[in-house]
Amino acid sequence: MKLLKPKALKPGDTLGIVAFSTPISVSSEEAIQRSYGFLRSKGFQVVEAANCRKTVGHAAGTIKERQSAP
């Protein structure tokens, strides 16, 4: 089997933040912003999926919302 290696990320690339299970809102807003700030300080653009902060039961949005997260 041939090992596939993606191209390395570089400043200016966009990172999509997704939550397929638990919403990120279980973390403090300070921790979330600190994490995003770190990524931005490395030159990355940060885009958060619409369901990241949504809570439906214990999950980050409905099944359909989690499936459609970019």
What are the average pLDDT values for consecutive 10-residue runs of the chain, which has 70 residues?
93 90 83 95 93 76 68
Q: For the chain, which residues make up each domain, given as ranges? A: 14-67
Count CA within 13 A, CB hemisphere, residue 69: 22
Give the pLDDT confidence score for residue 41 in this predicted structure: 97
* Residue among 19, 9, 69 at smallest CA distance from 39: 9
Say which residues have a Cβ less than 8 Å from residue 65's Cβ, sequence separation at least 6.
50, 51, 54, 56
Q: Which two tokens stand for residue 16?
A: 């999509």
Give the pLDDT confidence score for residue 70 in this predicted structure: 61
